[in-house]
Amino acid sequence: MKFAMLGSGAVGGYFGAKLARAGQDVTFIARGAHRDAIRQRGLEIRSTQLGDFTVQAPAESDPAQVGPVDVVVVAVKAYDNATAFPMISPLLGPETTVLTLQNGVDNVDQLAELVGTDRVLGGTTYVATALEAPGLIVQTGVHRSILFGEVFGARTVTPRVQALADVLGAADIQVTAAADARTPLWDKFVYLVPFSGFTGAARLPIGYIWKHDTVREMFYAAAREVASVAVAEGVTLSADRFESLDHYMTNIPASTRSSLLIDLEQGKRIEVEALQGALIRRAAAHGIPVPIVSTLYAVLKAWESGNPR
What number is the average pLDDT over the span 122-137? 94
pLDDT in tens, 245-273: 999 999 988 999 899 998 999 899 999 99
pLDDT in tens, 166-203: 999 999 999 999 999 999 999 999 999 999 999 999 99
Nearest-angstrom CA–CA distance, 108 and 111: 5
**pLDDT for residue 208:** 95
Query: Residue 46 — left, alpha, or beta (φ > 0 → left; ψ -120 to 50 → alpha)?
Result: beta
**pLDDT for residue 153:** 84
Instruction: Report the DSSP pairing between strands 97-100 and 120-133.
Output: parallel
DSSP class of 302: G
HSE, CB side, 13 Å, CA atoms: give it for residue 7.
Answer: 24
pLDDT in tens, 7-63: 999 999 999 999 999 999 999 999 999 999 999 999 999 999 999 999 999 999 999
Residues 6 or more apart in contact with residue 63 via CB below 8 angstroms? 4, 6, 29, 87, 88, 89, 90, 91
Task: Tell me which fold the domain 184-303 belongs to.
Answer: N-(1-d-carboxylethyl)-l-norvaline Dehydrogenase; domain 2 (1.10.1040)
Count of helix runs (H) and strand runs (E) in the chain:
12, 10
Q: Pick the residue with more confidence: 256 or 4?
A: 4
Beta bridge partners of 146: 125, 175
pLDDT in tens, 233-250: 999 999 999 999 999 999
Domain 2-180 = CATH 3.40.50.970: no
Give me the percent of the chain exceeding a pLDDT of 70: 100
Using only the alpha carbons of the chain, give its radius of gyration. 19
Checking if the pLDDT of 210 tops 80, the result is yes
Nearest-angstrom CA–CA distance, 259 and 199: 10
**Per-domain residue ranges for the chain?**
2-180, 184-303
Nearest-angstrom CA–CA distance, 236 and 245: 16
By the 8 A CB rule, do 6 and 27 touch? no
Checking if the pLDDT of 154 tops 90, the result is no
Checking if the pLDDT of 4 tops 80, the result is yes
